Structure 1
Amino acid sequence: MLRRTTLKLMGALAGTALLPLQAFAEMPATVDGPVTISFYNYNLASVSAGADATKELLATFKQKFPNITVETVAVPSNEIMSRVQADIVASQQPDVAQLVFRDLIYISSDLGANALEDMVTPVELKDHLTGMIPQGLELGKVDGKTYGLAYTFSTPILYYNADLFKQAGLNPDNPPKTWADVNAAGKAIKEKTGKAGFFPGAYGPADGTFVYQAIVMSNGGKVRNDNKLTFADGDAADAVKMLRDMVDSGAHARLDVASPADTMASGNLGMFLYTSATYGSFKKAAKDKFDLRMAPMPAFGDKPTAPTNSGSALFVFSKDPAKQRASYELLKFLTSKEAYTVITSKIGYLPLRLDIVDDPQYLGEWVKQNPNFRANLEQLSHLKANIAFPGPNYRQVEKMMMDSVREAVFGSGDPKAALQTAEQDAQNLMP
């Protein structure tokens, strides 16, 4: 059972004296006077459509709540957690932060995030959450309380270049459905066009974990079972071995793991398994250059796929009641029907309110014009939670796992042995 403790920080911040958490005063029902809150956001630090869409949302929020001033702190996604930690130590308490699900356990137990159930009345909270997909809401809960409100959200989707499919003699109207199909298509694209056949965004140190876990879980594996690491076991290891076999066959390209999206955007990659959040950017890059399409993630034969979640949740750290109310109003707006219309149509994240998908007032017309996006919506019915690691060493454990996955897929040794060595070493860091 997790409990809220005195704030602690990892690594270089460990041992810093921090103030204990205080009991909340009652949050006011409305914002009655000028309030300024800080919003740490990583979409604003990007050069993609995410920054422009977020600025648009915040401008609309200001029109609706002129008394609330939102001071934004734009930090890249791979740095934002450290920035939040450092600012808490420096007594610069964030009010709202966009953080990823992989940090949920640490944020709730050690970093001092507020559970929404401790801030908001049950009636008001239920009123806002009604209509949001339960699978998304569950991902932000620890011990039954909502610490992270699902915000920008996606599953792995198979982007493919229909022009390269045609050049390779493949039918772009019948995209790969299984990993065997991907292997065959990848080899055909490489041999007949000279372009890279396939690559999954499953190896990046910060953003690859969810794609990797989706592949593993689609084969029936898991990266951990309670506090026991299992990423080198049975089905999990076999999934990685499948990727290695595709590298050996030539279907799986050897690209820089930090920039495969650039290869896809340039039209030089046939298939790319990655977050739907890049759809807006890929669509813009492909315009008048190549036919970009989307399909559900591939399956291991007849096994059902297990798409995991990427993206972020919104966390409230405010202890001041007036700032809490202003922060909650920001959360409500950013997860409203109006906001998800912008988030989906202009960035590519999933709308966590599915009643807007076919509503002409919201996403109805956009979905008609972008029918391929339904492939991502369909995956919500069998969504699996991306598994986070517990304990203060969770980031190091994750890094050791991902380093071993890259070695297993691209190295020259036994892939299962690479995973087993890392699993044994990482287990010593588990609580």
Structure 2
Amino acid sequence: MKHTAALLGCAVLASALAACGSPSSGEPAAVVLRVQGMPPATDKPGLDQFKAMVAEFEKQNPGIRVQGSTTVFDPLTFSAKLAGGRIEEVIKVPLTEPQGLIARKQVQPLTKELAKWAHYKEFNPQVLQPLSDAAGEVYGVPQAPFAQGLVYNRALFAKAGLDPAKPPKTWDEVRAAAKAISAKTGKAGFVHESKSNQGGWQLTMLAYTHGGEIERQEGGRYVAAFNSDPVKKALGLLKEMRWTDGSMGDAQLNDQNDVIKRFAAGEIGMYMGTPGTYRLAKMTYGMEDTDAFGIGPLPQAGGNATLTGGDVYLVPKSVPADKAAAAVKWLLFAYAQPQYDPQAAAARAKQLAADPKSAVGVPTLPMFDAAQQAEIDEAVRPYVNVQLEHFRPWLDGTPALTLRPEPPVLAQQVYTVLDTVVQAVLTNRDASVDDLLAKAEADVNAKLAASRQ
């Protein structure tokens, strides 16, 4: 299935701090709703906007008080917190998690409450599919669905004699560009993440571009599928770039924050990422030359595909009905309405653009159809403060690619195993790709088998 890339003029960064006052005599107590997704203090424009958003939500819903939380998903502690009831009423998780949470009955269906929204049936069904069970019950609301691309430093491209308006479209071209950047600027031409489960995550997207897969169904069960020629070629590419070309620099144990921080400082030529990493580069890591940020579609080597994903918001099974209903009102107000209603989108874009440190106009994938997204884009256009042309290669090239989801079963555990594969390839010149994948496949198949018991 091919998708249309679109501009989301005001990517809503949700959360806020809201005081919970005592109800006056005779008034019913307000429903207190704790929600994950609060921007960190480093994202002052987003946090300020959200405080205003919460105030408006509470004005429209006087019986609900919202308390924001900066808790972020941690695969090492999430399950224990959820099982122990030590978690908020609205939780934010990556797109790898909903199907497992649904299958284990740890989150609750929200279809009945969602359907009360007049535009519920206009959602792009593909953004709700990963949040739904076999019976069609929907369990959450997505935030800013994305497709991976190739982020690149336009300034380093120019210094290396490359055309900043024409990012690489194939992995052969990436390899050549990385060599040129490394040789002519002394910077790392290309960096691949390798820790915190992100090595396996990025190997997945690299595998997709080579025509590979991570899991497949076999006899009604999921098994590992990455001990294959496409994935071997993907790892072989990394090995050649690291040890033959010397174009990946010396620091190899990186997660996304490490990579974006180094990119913001002008130390990296290219990495796999989304348009949304622009915000981290600018607002979290203080990238001064933001005009150097460019992004194209994910380069290909026969797969014609890219990885899609995003964050989603769910409600734990233990949350009582009144708070679950309040949670749906919040989710529709915070995430769905601004991507459907041009007036709401424009209002938030205007507010966000008032802060010079903000980033308005960073593209994402549409939650509704292309026509609706076009109206949103037009409404927010006066407030866009990013160099939209520098995102144009991604916008133009991504629609030609097939969007592929993350592995459907135990994705985070699979990524943990694959981290070790990526790390070995990047830190050991003599690492055997065949041996590493064979061992990793056995480890993952054991985990998948255990999950079926």
TM interval, shorter chain, is 0.7 to 0.9
Q: Which residue is equivalent to 1:262?
A: 261
**1:234-383 residue pairs with structure 2 within 5 A?**
234-248=229-243, 249-255=245-251, 256-258=253-255, 259-283=258-282, 285-288=286-289, 291-300=292-301, 303-317=302-316, 319-338=319-338, 341=345, 345=360, 350-353=365-368, 354=370, 355-359=372-376, 362-365=379-382, 366=384, 370-378=388-396, 379=398, 382-383=402-403
Query: Partner letter of residue 205 of structure 1?
Result: S
Query: Partner letter of residue 403 of structure 1?
Result: T
Relative to 1, partners in 2 of residues 1:178 and 1:401: Cα closer, same or farther, differing over 3 Å?
Answer: same
User: Do structure 1's residue 228 and structure 2's residue 223 form an aligned pair?
Assistant: yes
Q: CA deviation at 1:326?
A: 0.7
| C-alpha contact 1:295 1:375 (8 A) present in aligned 2 | yes
Query: Partner letter of residue 336 of structure 2?
Result: S
| C-alpha contact 1:297 1:305 (8 A) present in aligned 2 | no
**1:176-215 residue pairs with structure 2 within 5 A?**
176-201=168-193, 203-215=194-206
Q: Which residue is equivalent to 1:100?
A: 94
Relative to 1, partners in 2 of residues 1:212 and 1:65: Cα closer, same or farther, differing over 3 Å?
Answer: farther
2:107 to 113, 119, 132: 113
Query: SS of the residue aligned with 1:158?
Result: strand
Q: CA deviation at 1:166?
A: 1.4
Query: What RMSD in Å do the two structures reach over aligned CA positions?
Result: 3.1
Query: SS of the residue aligned with 1:39?
Result: strand
Q: CA deviation at 1:387?
A: 1.3
Relative to 1, partners in 2 of residues 1:321 and 1:66: Cα closer, same or farther, differing over 3 Å?
Answer: same
Distance 1:130 1:253 in 2: 49
Query: SS of the residue aligned with 1:268?
Result: coil
Query: SS of the residue aligned with 1:228?
Result: strand
Moved more, 397-406 or 95-104: 397-406
User: Do structure 1's residue 75 and structure 2's residue 71 form an aligned pair?
Assistant: yes
2:417 to 382, 392, 400: 400
2:441 to 423, 426, 430: 423
Distance 1:167 1:403 in 2: 34
| C-alpha contact 1:356 1:363 (8 A) present in aligned 2 | no
Relative to 1, partners in 2 of residues 1:404 and 1:37: Cα closer, same or farther, differing over 3 Å?
Answer: same
Query: Partner letter of residue 35 of structure 1?
Result: V
Relative to 1, partners in 2 of residues 1:356 and 1:63: Cα closer, same or farther, differing over 3 Å?
Answer: farther
Q: CA deviation at 1:69?
A: 0.6
Q: TM-score, normalised by structure 1?
A: 0.79
Cα displacement string for residues 112-169 of structure 1 (whole angstroms, at most 9, x for unaligned residues): 211223x337x536x4334433332222223233223222332222221111111111
Cα displacement string for residues 265-315 of structure 1 (whole angstroms, at most 9, x for unaligned residues): 001111121132211232454444762222111111xx3532212321110
- Percent identity, aligned pairs only, is 22
| C-alpha contact 1:157 1:274 (8 A) present in aligned 2 | yes
Query: Partner letter of residue 268 of structure 2?
Result: L
Query: Partner letter of residue 332 of structure 1?
Result: L
Count of matched residue positions in the alignment of Structure 1 and Structure 2: 388
Distance 2:174 2:185 in 1: 16
Relative to 1, partners in 2 of residues 1:173 and 1:268: Cα closer, same or farther, differing over 3 Å?
Answer: same
Moved more, 264-273 or 283-292: 283-292
Relative to 1, partners in 2 of residues 1:108 and 1:216: Cα closer, same or farther, differing over 3 Å?
Answer: same
Distance 1:44 1:289 in 2: 21
Query: Partner letter of residue 334 of structure 2?
Result: L
Query: SS of the residue aligned with 1:308?
Result: strand
| C-alpha contact 2:361 2:388 (8 A) present in aligned 1 | no
Relative to 1, partners in 2 of residues 1:75 and 1:222: Cα closer, same or farther, differing over 3 Å?
Answer: same
Relative to 1, partners in 2 of residues 1:196 and 1:100: Cα closer, same or farther, differing over 3 Å?
Answer: same
Distance 2:409 2:332 in 1: 29
Q: Which residue is equivalent to 2:19?
A: none
Which sections of structure 1, spanning at least 5 residues, go unmatched? Answer: 1-31
Q: Which residue is equivalent to 2:148?
A: 156
Relative to 1, partners in 2 of residues 1:421 and 1:206: Cα closer, same or farther, differing over 3 Å?
Answer: closer
Relative to 1, partners in 2 of residues 1:267 and 1:364: Cα closer, same or farther, differing over 3 Å?
Answer: same
Which sections of structure 2, spanning at least 5 residues, go unmatched? Answer: 1-27, 350-358
Q: Which residue is equivalent to 2:22?
A: none
Distance 1:76 1:351 in 2: 24
Q: CA deviation at 1:209?
A: 4.2
Cα displacement string for residues 59-114 of structure 1 (whole angstroms, at most 9, x for unaligned residues): 442333232111223213336x735642541x456321111121223211225211
Cα displacement string for residues 343-393 of structure 1 (whole angstroms, at most 9, x for unaligned residues): 983776545245234546633332895233344445266311111324xxx
Distance 2:51 2:423 in 1: 36
| C-alpha contact 2:200 2:419 (8 A) present in aligned 1 | yes
Q: Which residue is equivalent to 1:386?
A: 406
Relative to 1, partners in 2 of residues 1:210 and 1:129: Cα closer, same or farther, differing over 3 Å?
Answer: farther
User: Do structure 1's residue 132 and structure 2's residue 149 form an aligned pair?
Assistant: no
Q: Which residue is equivalent to 1:165?
A: 157
Distance 2:426 2:165 in 1: 30
Q: TM-score, normalised by structure 2?
A: 0.76
Distance 2:47 2:146 in 1: 17
User: Do structure 1's residue 40 and structure 2's residue 36 form an aligned pair?
Assistant: yes
